[in-house]
Amino acid sequence: MSYYDKPEQPVRDSRLVIGDSYTGTACGALDCAKSGCMLQQGRRFWQANSCQMALSLMMAATIENAVIVMHSPIGCGSSLFGLTPGVTKGNVKRGKAPKQPIWLSTNLTEIDVISGGEKKLRETILYADREFRPEIILVIATCAPSIIGDDVNDVVKSVGGQTGAIVTAIHCPGFKSRVVASAYDAFYHSLISRVPLEPIDYRDYNPPERADPDYATKIRALAAQKQNTVNIFNATSIGLADEQELTRLLNAIGLNVRIFAEYCSVDELRMMSFAGLNVSLCNVHDDYILKYLQEKFDIPYIICGMPIGFASTKAWLLEIAEFYGLADRARNLIASEETQVSEAIAPFLPKLAGKRVLICGGVVRTSVEAVFLKEIGLDVIAVRAYHYDDGADPVISDLADSLDDTPFAVSNQPFEMVNQLKKLQPDITISHAGTHGFLAKAGFVSVQLWDTDKPFFGYSGIFQLVRRLVFAQRNDSYTKRLAANVAQPYRDNWFERDAYSYITD
C-alpha cells in the first residue's frame, strides 16, 4: 500500500532523512545525514516554535469557499486571527472576494477527552455544512484527538454522504514531528485523499464528440492544450508577485501556466491533473503531491531548486524548457532578461560589494539565495537553515560547492541566532518572518527572507531583492534605539559560549 492510499500520511521523520539540530558546514551536513548522525541530534534547550498544524492552517486558510473545522481544544485555531488579514489580502489581489476565513472549533472539553470527540466532530461538520454552505470542509486533526484515539478519518468518511461540501482531514498533530515542513505533506494528503483532482466532462471542459467530423483534430488540440499546460505549486511563503513573474516567463516561451493549490477553489483544484508537467518551486514543499500526480495521472514533474538569482532562475527555466524542446527560446529569453536586470542592478551593486551577510530561514531558500548573494559580490558569513531534509540535498550541494567553509547550521532557535549574530556582527541579516521583532530588539537590522507582498523569484525578484538590501542599510536608528532600551532575556555569559553548545549528539 502506498502512502497515498493510507488514511494518514507519514510524517517526514519516517519518510525522509530529516534533522533540526546541526552545526558545521553545508558539506558536513550532507555527510552527517548520510552517516545517520543528523537524525540523532537534538538540543538541551528549546524555545517555542511553530508546528505542522500551524503551517497546515496557513495553507488551509487560503482555500476558497472553505470552512475549517478545528478538531481540537479551544486554543489551537487562535493563530488564524493573525492569518486572516493576509488571506483576505491574498484573495483580493487574485481578484477573489475579500472573504475572511471561517473556522469552527470542536472545543474539546475534559469530558470529550475522556469519552472521545468523534460525535462532536461529526456534529460540527454537519453544522458547518448547513450553516455556511461551503464547498469544502477541511478538518484539522490536532494533538488531543490523536492522543485519545479519535478516528477522524472514519468520521470524515461516514459524514461525507450527508454534506453538500466535500469533507477532508488534514492530519497534523504537532507532537508527531518537530519538522514543521511535514505540514506540506499533511495538506496535500488531505487533497489527495478526498478532493477530486480531475476535470469533469461538460462542466470543466467540453470533450470532443465522436460524431464530430473534426473529432481527431479536436482531440489533438485538447491533448496539446493539456500538454502545454504547466502547473506550478505555490505554498505559504510564495506570493502573487512571484506567481506572476514565473507565469510571465513561462508564457514568454509559449507555455500555459496554472497555479496550485493555495487560493484555489474546489473547481480549480479539479484542473490539477489537466497538465503536461508539474513544477515545484521548492525542494521541500511538494514532492509528496508531485509524485502522486505522476503515479496516478502519469504527469512528469520537475523539482529544481527555487528560482532565486541568475543561476537558479536560469536552471529552473531551462529544465522546463528542455522538457518541452523549447530550450533555444528559453535561452534567448534568459539572455534578454539577464541583460536588462543586470543593467538595472548595476548602480546598486557597489553599495553591496563585500557586505557581510547572515541568512536564516527555510533550507532551500537560504541555500539558493546564499549562492546568489555570493555571485553578486556579497560575503556570506553564515547560513542557518530551519530544518534539514534530504529532498534539499541538491541545493545544499550547490551551497557546499559555492561556500565550502561558510558555517552552516540547522536551527530555528532564536537564542542560537542572536548569539551567532553578536559574534559575527554582519552588515546584513536576512531572516524568516517571525524573527524580525527579536532581531531588532537585539540590535540587528534585518531584511525579509520572504514576504508574500513582494517578489523574490525570477528577474523581478533579483531587482527587488537587491533594491531592498540597499534600502535596509539606510538609517538604522530605529534598531539602535530599540536595542539600547530593551533588555535581552539571556544571561550575559551566554554570549561568551558557543552559539550551538546546546546541540546534543
- Could you say which residues in the range 112-141 bind other proteins, by CB under 8 A? 112-113, 120, 123-124, 127-128, 130-134
Q: Does 484 help bind other proteins (rule: CB under 8 A)?
A: no
Strand partners, 69: 104, 139
Q: Does 187 help bind other proteins (rule: CB under 8 A)?
A: no
Hey, is 257 helix, strand or coil?
A: strand
> Given the C-alpha cell 489537466, which residue does it identify?
274
Separation of alpha carbons 350 and 224, rounded Å: 47
**CB of residue 112 vs other proteins: minimum separation in angstroms?**
7
> Which residues in the 224-263 window bind other proteins by CB under 8 A?
none
84 versus 397: smaller Cβ distance to other proteins: 84
> Which residues in the 75-104 window bind other proteins by CB under 8 A?
75-82, 84-85, 99-100, 102-104
Please write down the HEC assignment for all residues of 373-398. Answer: HHHCCCEEEEEEECCEEHHHHHHHHH
82 versus 350: smaller Cβ distance to other proteins: 82
Residues comprising the chain, all counted: 505
Separation of alpha carbons 25 and 399, rounded Å: 10
The pairing of beta strand 356-361 with beta strand 277-279: unpaired
Amino acid at 282: C
Give the long-range contacts of residues 97-103, CB within 8 A, separation 24 or more: 99/64, 101/61, 101/62, 101/66, 101/68, 102/67, 102/68, 102/132, 102/134, 103/61, 103/67, 103/68, 103/69, 103/70, 103/77
Q: Does 51 help bind other proteins (rule: CB under 8 A)?
A: yes
175 versus 215: smaller Cβ distance to other proteins: 175
Q: Does 437 help bind other proteins (rule: CB under 8 A)?
A: yes
> Which residues in the 374-433 window bind other proteins by CB under 8 A?
414-415
Of the residues 107, 256, 397, 473, which one makes contact with other proteins according to CB under 8 A: 107
Residue 39: CB atoms within 10 A of its CB come to 14
219 versus 482: smaller Cβ distance to other proteins: 482
Separation of alpha carbons 303 and 99, rounded Å: 33
Q: Does 106 help bind other proteins (rule: CB under 8 A)?
A: yes
Stretch that binds other proteins, among 42-50, 294-302, 315-323, 392-400 (CB under 8 A): 42-50
Q: Does 164 help bind other proteins (rule: CB under 8 A)?
A: no
**CB of residue 71 vs other proteins: minimum separation in angstroms?**
10
Of the residues 46, 297, 323, 463, which one makes contact with other proteins according to CB under 8 A: 46
Q: Does 302 help bind other proteins (rule: CB under 8 A)?
A: no
**CB of residue 382 vs other proteins: minimum separation in angstroms?**
19
10 versus 208: smaller Cβ distance to other proteins: 10
Q: Does 108 help bind other proteins (rule: CB under 8 A)?
A: yes
Of the residues 434, 471, 478, 496, which one makes contact with other proteins according to CB under 8 A: 434
Of the residues 41, 65, 228, 265, which one makes contact with other proteins according to CB under 8 A: 65
CA angle, 417 then 83 then 486, to 5°: 40
Q: Does 491 help bind other proteins (rule: CB under 8 A)?
A: yes
**CB of residue 253 vs other proteins: minimum separation in angstroms?**
40
For residue 41, give Cα distances in angstroms to 48, 62, 97, 150, 385.
18, 35, 46, 32, 15
Q: Does 175 help bind other proteins (rule: CB under 8 A)?
A: yes
Cell of 104: 469552527
Q: How far is CA 223 from the centre of its chain?
A: 31
235 versus 330: smaller Cβ distance to other proteins: 235
128 versus 395: smaller Cβ distance to other proteins: 128
Q: Does 502 help bind other proteins (rule: CB under 8 A)?
A: yes
Contacts of 394 (CB under 8 A, 6+ apart): 283, 304, 305
